[in-house]
A and B are shown apart, each in its own frame.
Chain A
Amino acid sequence: MAPSRSSQTRLAEGLARQGQIDPAVDACFQGLRLDERDVLAHCLLAELMLAGDFYDEAIAEATLAIEFDPDCAPAYLALGLAYDRRGGMWDQAVLVWHELAEVVPDLVTAHVQLGEAFWAAAFEEEAVEAWRAALALDPKEPRATYNLAVAALEREGMATALPQFRKAGELDPSQDELFFALAGDGDGVALARGGDLFGALDSARAVLDERPDEASALALASYAYLKQEGTNEATALALRALECEPGVPGALYCLGVAYSRRPGLDRHAARVFRALTKAAPRHPMPHVLLAESLLGLQRFDVARSAYRTAVRLDPACVRARFGLAAVLLTEGRHAEASWEVRRAAYHDTRRQGLFWKLFDAYAEGVEDA
């Protein structure tokens, strides 16, 4: 059934995209007074209710939209997210994510969420399968990797899980963002941010030709080598930078990451990252990196504090949430661990803004009312 887009729905859509929830809701209701089967209006209402965390209302609206059009992908998305965020409705969530994965097979999030719904319902094998399916679609999907790490923790302990956390973390752009936040502005940093590591190295080299003891240039060079898997080179340059200027944050970052790649150097990594948390106290990532080093040392209590600090600084830090979940599991606090995973999903899915992508694709067949 091809959806039609009334002028009220267009108005509601415009208001919703601007984040004006109350007038958007009002506009949707006005549209529904004209046509109570307006799928797009129900869809928008579901998303608006979801945005306000009113899950029962979101479920009701999304259900209506699906009743009127069983192919309405954005409604499935809203419905699945509402079930997941509300909690306790895993059976329904599994059905919805299955359906969405069929309707939009390359939607990675559907597989990740399906996995999490299976996991919450104690269907572990199915969960792992779903996360692997997500990684097959996008090998850099962080939440699938973090979930697999937590699953590994529950079966085999932290020694198996920690490398997976670190691997996912290095693929996670937020870790690189830490370095750029520490390194400040500069041509070389801009080149590195744009992915031109050779250019960044050349830029650092140009500075070092004039001032061989310039710590920030050494740190930038260290970063470039780090990203190209030159861990020893990165270590050498970071150590030299810290000899020239103790405590330079960029070098601390590079040295800590280099150490964390090497089994046996968790103690050293922890020392470096602790210094980094003092150098950049308002950034969550140093606390996450410190926590991971502490996990390697089996200092779970202190790791928990570091993760909680990271979450306090940035509640949307997915890596911190999953790390905190892992630590809570080591303490037998399953319900709290499960909550952290759910909050990670909450923030991650909100950030992704998937609803509008699906909505736009769905509404492409629209005729103006």
Chain B
Amino acid sequence: MSDAVARLYQAFVSQDPAGAIAVVEEAKGAGAQRGALFDDLYAPSLAMLGGAWASRALDEVAFAQASVVAEQIGPFVVPPAAAPDTGITIVVGCAASDRHDIRKNVIAAALKEAGHRVVDLGADARPTEFVEKVAQTGARIAIVCAELTGTVASVRRVRELLAADGRDDVVVLAAGGPFDADGKIARELGANGVVLGAESALRLVARIASDLFAPRPDEDA
């Protein structure tokens, strides 16, 4: 790789973006992983650039021009910002008559950022909407958010409707204040687990994902 580092540096200094791309492609072709491209190829060549400026091997203008080329190469070596699509569809919504949607928004956004396909039903979503969307999208996970004790019954209703629809395989997760206070409520309503917040949602979905294509997912997620 050290030869490649030197060549990439040369490409920066020579203002040769095509040459720089070729170096990167060659490294990829040799089996270098995306993460290693940045750490083992791009960063050391930038360090060489810095050293050259420090020792006056490059003047200000050349340094700036080389940096422009380095910027152009960035997308080839920087790990992607967006997470890859996981292929997992999750239906998220607030329980019927519940308009407290902050937690739902945060959870849905976190799941989307993690690469999952999120169908957001919004606030005050009827249980039938959950079931319809599950049927339409083939989702295997539904998250029902309820912040009031008066709206938690939606979780049971969603579970019942899914069962009636022959969809016992869908994992129903509950989220909201009443479930934080007493995890047993979720179990009594037929939920498979409780989502406490964004990170909890990510962890739970990751765990469930490994079972998604099993014939019958674990009931006590």
Interface residue from B39, B47, B177 paired with A236 (Cβ < 8 Å): B47
- Residue of B with least CB distance to A326: B106
A153 in contact with B106 (CB, 8 Å): yes
Q: Which residues of B contact A236 (CB under 8 A)?
A: 46-47, 49-50, 53, 63, 67, 70
Interface presence of B54 (CB below 8 A): yes
Docked-complex contact A156 and B199, CB < 8 angstroms: no
Cα-based distance from A158 to B79 in the complex (angstroms): 19
Given contacts A154-B105, A157-B105, A237-B53, 5 further A-B contacts (CB under 8 A): A208-B55, A237-B54, A238-B50, A240-B49, A264-B80
Is there an interface contact between B46 and A298, defined as CB atoms closer than 8 Å? Answer: no
- Chain B binding surface, main DSSP class: helix
Query: Once bound together, how far apart are the Cα atoms of A297 and B112, in whole Å?
Result: 13
Q: Once the chains bind, are B110 and A212 in contact (CB under 8 Å)?
A: no
* Interface set of B (CB-CB < 8 Å, partner A): 38-39, 43-44, 46-51, 53-56, 63-64, 67-68, 70-71, 74, 78-81, 102-103, 105-106, 108-110, 112-114, 175-177, 180, 196-200, 202
Q: Among A222, A230, A237, A332, point to the contact of B197 (Cβ < 8 A).
A: A332
Verify if A155 is at the interface (C-beta below 8 Å from B).
yes
Inter-chain contacts of B196 with A (CB < 8 A): 331-332
**Given A232-B67, A233-B63, A233-B67: A265 and B54 interface contact (C-beta under 8 Å):** no
Residue among B38, B51, B80, B81 making CB contact with A268, cutoff 8 Å: B38
* B56 CB contacts on chain A under 8 angstroms: 209, 212
Residues from chain B with a CB closer than 8 A to the CB of A241 are 50
- Tell me which residues across on chain B come within 8 A of A56, comparing CB atoms: none
Q: Is B50 a contact of A237 with CB atoms below 8 Å? A: yes
- CB < 8 Å neighbour of B71 from A232, A331, A332: A232
Q: What are the residues of chain A within 8 A of B44 when measuring CB–CB?
A: 239
Residues of A near B50 (CB, < 8 A) are 218, 222, 236-241
Chain B residues, Cβ within 8 Å of A158: 106, 109-110, 113, 198
Q: Within the assembled complex, what's the spacing in Å between the Cα atoms of A267 and B39?
A: 12
Look across to chain A and name the residue whose beta carbon is closest to the beta carbon of B179.
A332
Cβ contacts under 8 Å, A242 to chain B? 47
A240 x B54 contact (CB < 8 A): yes
Residues of B contacting A298 in the complex (Cβ-Cβ under 8 angstroms): 110, 113-114, 198-199, 202
A209-B59 Cα distance, complex, nearest whole Å: 12
B109, A331: Cβ atoms under 8 Å? no
Determine the chain A residues whose CB is within 8 A of the CB of B71 once the complex forms.
Answer: 232
Complex CA–CA separation, A208 to B24 (angstroms): 31
Contacts of A300 in B (CB 8 A): 197-199
A314-336 CB contacts (< 8 Å) to partner B? 329-334
| Residues of chain B with a CB closer than 8 A to A263's CB | 78, 81
